[in-house]
Structure 1
């Protein structure tokens, strides 16, 4: 699903993205600031990472989203200043 919002031609919503587990390992940073156009939704944040880092694409169907410390669905609208978390599956023992 390629979305025109991901081209970021007219960015005006700046969000902070917190990365954990596989996301942090692949990206190499625990946090990034990204900009998205008005009307973007939380799923666009995930889509950005799955397209920019193809090795993360396998996590698409199992990743959950959080915004400002609340679990949200992918269709939640982004707001300026949001803190978005991509939550991959947790494993361990």
Structure 2
């Protein structure tokens, strides 16, 4: 199944793309998608601890299941003042 992955800030810088479509197996969850992304973009794995994932605009944990057509956002740390 295909899901859409949106990259922001450092994730975009490290991958060189704003968005991409990833094929994941049926029954996949955020953890599996994360593994596939880090295998494809090793530089992204270096900042893995500071990244959050959102599925259809809601923060998600590794066990969140994925379904075809969902939009996943990789969200870096946010700061401001």
TM-score range, shorter chain: 0.7 to 0.9
**3-state SS, counterpart of residue 45 of structure 1:** helix
1:1-93 to 2 correspondences below 5 Å: 13-91=1-79
Larger Rg, first or second structure (1 or 2): 1
The DSSP-based 3-state class of the residue aligned with 1:34 is strand
TM-score when normalising by structure 2: 0.86
> Which stretches in structure 1 are left out of the alignment for 5+ residues?
1-12
Question: Which protein, 1 or 2, shows the higher relative CO under an 8 Å CA cutoff with sep ≥ 6?
Answer: 2
Aligned-pair RMSD on alpha carbons? 1.5
- Which sections of structure 2, spanning at least 5 residues, go unmatched? none
TM-score by length of 1: 0.77
User: How many residues in Structure 1 have an aligned counterpart in Structure 2?
Assistant: 81
> CA–CA distance in 2 between the matches of 1:92 and 1:45?
29
